[in-house]
Chain A
């Protein structure tokens, strides 16, 4: 790894106003419509949480415990009626046309009700973000239309994103690590397309999705140079779902193994883009890690809200819990953690709007044009032709290329900072809430122990919190550092092995 770099350090100490204060900088680009969208999503999500998520969350979990392959069809149908699967899809592709940020706000609200169900609905965000970051607008149009048409019919076309491999979890989340990863999956070029072999694991919604965005190298010896996104349909010969994992929590969202054995896919299945490792992946993760931050906040909030209700209604030593000073301090700490977490992910969300993937969607007034044009016109063949044209795709790719390094770094840094901070605060609140509950909190039917189990996954997926700290180091502490010397020889003292 590049060691301390005085030049980078100077650049760091001279951060621009907007890098330091993305939330304040966003005021300069204040769009009243954006705030209206955020507020609308909050209202809708709150209604859905109250009407569907909270009444069903514990029952769904018990059903999955009984049968790991149980699918929360009711939640999927209900969410379809609310349009949650298509909220962030551009209107030109048949969706709600709201920003990624609006979806993230919804995820906090839904996640405070149930992180598993929220993940079941929100994991699309990762798939859509990945497809959009390739700049292949034709593929984007195809995927989005399938999704929105299915949603209108009450049967949303579900998506999954398959990145993790049995032998490479952290390694596939970072371009530097990808160079030394031991990959087992590959899409080997053959006449007319590719032959896919390998396995992907822990794929959220993998067992129920209809289309899978599968990240694969065409030469696993050169993964950085040859990794692309492929769209693979469920039912493609040679592709099958393996085991559905038995997880500690977030049980409403199945995690499955995807197995590819001589699975032929046509050339058109490969999304048309530059290799993904590098800027495209950074843009996606910069956006989605902020989303995981919203879920961390949701965990913190769900734990806090339940502890508060418990404290108001249960007694200890003759007094209501809430009348004990130690409980009041704990509740205040929990509220503070919610506030801190929310501030962190909102910074990440706005960094993404100002410098990251969402900026691309709004650049050149595309968002405004879509908002103003009537849907009838947006659905017309002429608009479709323009939106999926080679020129539009090249324009999108140029926009990605034209982003300055510091812009991408800023969005990535805020995404990683939010992911680590919010998810750690989420777990912290679970510990605090369980302490307020006492023995009652150990019971499944009180709902708090479920949040404790659910929240732990947030510190792991979308890059472990350890990897995200390294990412933060590279994007904000020592910008420009390349190569990761993660395995320095342990010191002599550390070599003295200890047997427990």
Chain B
């Protein structure tokens, strides 16, 4: 079996045997504690390793997301934040324990990372930097060792990498979010806190843009996995649910809804495939990325609709898919902000 095949099989088994039984607890985070086995299990699968290749990561994320997207979001965020540090040349930083050190990396992956309007401000004070303000919705922060955050640097942009245990770093309570509820996020605050200047890893937002481009395929894999589970549940329900004198799958309108969901799933897979290739023009890659995430979010709303009242209840998983897919649409920021860039990417 190929490396990819082996990874797919082992992730599937982990998702089925470890993640699936804890889905309810994951779904109720932070009202309930995180199930203990998830993060160590992801680590044992090698999903937090620096060496994992992006196509393999994408396959793993899709398989995980078919069962629960929250662990996949945690893995994606870690890999992305770590890549940001490496790209910014901070991989050798002893202060960060090096990239090979243990522990999770966190970052505000749902924001436009190349912009820093609501980021903490940075001021240079001699050989130190001073941070003030709050980084909002930092994904992975409650569990992370390393926090990778955009900052406002005298009107410009900066990227800092900090150990979450450093004095001056305050990680807030885990936040309740629309979706991906078992992937803990928190605000990270600073009150004129000073750090050594080497915590400032980069000052050009191009770093964030380059890394986000590379990770689009992995992000779309999560949308594809979530939608895939929604289509499967909708199909099964439509075959079994009796209404109007027969199985609802026999109703033309139900078939039309299911058909549209499959069209969108195909679109997600095509986007994944496109984004795994080298040399794809930027406008095509970005267009596929935006379209796939957006369609998955809409299609999972239809997944709820197809199950009617049952779809709205937690038991069938459709409501979770709807929330997760909508949240996944925000990986690397808003669709409409990215569209502005797309218009500028025309060859």
Contacts and interface: CB of A to CB of B under 8 A. Distances in A.
Among the interface residues B231, B310, B336, which one has the most CB atoms of the partner chain A within 10 A? B336
A434 interface: yes
Interface in A467-500: 469, 484, 486-490, 494, 498, 500
A111 to B, nearest CB: 17
Contact of A452 (B178, B246, B336): B178
Contacts of B330: 438-439, 442
B40 interface: no
A464 B308 CA distance: 7
A469 B256 CA distance: 14
A425 B305 CA distance: 15
B154 interface: no
A326 interface: yes
B313 A247 contact: yes
A442 B322 contact: no
Contacts of A249: 312
A166 to B, nearest CB: 9
B20 interface: no
Interface stretch (B10-18, B84-92, B106-114, B193-201): B106-114
A445 B177 CA distance: 9
Contact of B245 (A62, A180, A330, A494): A180
Contacts of B333: 438-439
Contacts of A465: 305
Nearest to A434: B326
Interface residues of A, number: 59
B165 interface: no
Contacts of A318: 117
Interface stretch (B52-60, B207-215, B247-255): B247-255
Contact of A248 (B136, B243, B250, B322): B322
B262 A460 contact: no
Interface stretch (A227-235, A273-281, A309-317): A309-317
A316 B115 contact: yes
Contacts of A441: 178
Contacts of B118: 314-315, 440
Interface residue range, chain B: 35 or more
Nearest to B257: A466
A449 B178 contact: yes
B312 A169 contact: no
A456 B305 CA distance: 8
B244 interface: yes
A466 B311 CA distance: 15
Interface string B223-247: 0000010011001000000111110
A62 B175 CA distance: 12
Interface string B170-194: 0000011111000000000000000
Contacts of A180: 244-245
| Dominant secondary structure of chain B at its interface with chain A | helix
Contact of B31 (A65, A168, A326): A65
Nearest to A181: B243
B176 A443 contact: yes
A316 B112 CA distance: 9
Nearest to A62: B176
Nearest to B261: A500
Given A315-B118, A442-B178, A452-B178, A248 B323 contact: yes
B335 A427 contact: no
A66 B309 CA distance: 22
A438 B323 contact: no
A500 B246 CA distance: 23
Interface in B289-316: 297-298, 301, 304-305, 308-315
Contacts of A99: none
B337 A488 contact: no
Contacts of B108: 439
A55 to B, nearest CB: 18
B130 interface: no
A247 B307 CA distance: 13
B308 A460 contact: yes
B111 A460 contact: no
B322 A456 contact: yes
Contacts of A66: 31
Interface string A320-342: 00000010001000000000000
Interface in A287-304: none
Given A440-B136, A442-B137, A443-B137, A317 B117 contact: yes
Nearest to B313: A245
A8 interface: no
Given A170-B244, A442-B177, A486-B244, A435 B309 contact: no
A311 to B, nearest CB: 12
A245 to B, nearest CB: 5
Contacts of B175: 443-445
Contacts of A431: 297-298
Nearest to B235: A500
A466 to B, nearest CB: 5
Nearest to A202: B309
A182 B242 contact: yes
Contacts of A449: 177-178
Interface in A445-461: 445, 449, 452-453, 456-457, 459-461
B203 interface: no
B334 interface: yes
Given A66-B31, A460-B311, A490-B250, A453 B337 contact: no
Nearest to A430: B326
Nearest to A61: B176
Contact of B312 (A330, A457, A486): A457
A484 B250 CA distance: 13
B260 interface: no
A167 B310 CA distance: 11
A459 B313 CA distance: 14
B265 interface: yes
A500 B326 contact: no
Contact of B28 (A65, A443, A484, A489): A65
A376 B265 CA distance: 66
B127 interface: no
B171 to A, nearest CB: 16
A285 B28 CA distance: 35
A487 B313 CA distance: 26
A254 to B, nearest CB: 12
B117 A314 contact: yes
A155 to B, nearest CB: 30
A171 interface: yes
A363 interface: no
Contacts of B2: none
A250 B261 CA distance: 26
Interface in A155-191: 164, 167-171, 177, 180, 182
Question: Can you list the 6 inter-chain pairs with the closest CB atoms, starting with the nearest?
Answer: A248-B319, A439-B110, A449-B178, A180-B245, A444-B176, A315-B117
Given A164-B309, A177-B243, A486-B245, 7 more contacts: A169-B309, A170-B243, A434-B326, A438-B334, A439-B108, A456-B322, A486-B251
22 contacts: A62-B31, A66-B31, A169-B243, A247-B319, A248-B319, A326-B340, A427-B301, A440-B118, A442-B327, A443-B176, A444-B175, A444-B177, A444-B178, A452-B326, A460-B309, A461-B309, A466-B253, A486-B244, A487-B251, A490-B250, A498-B262, A500-B231
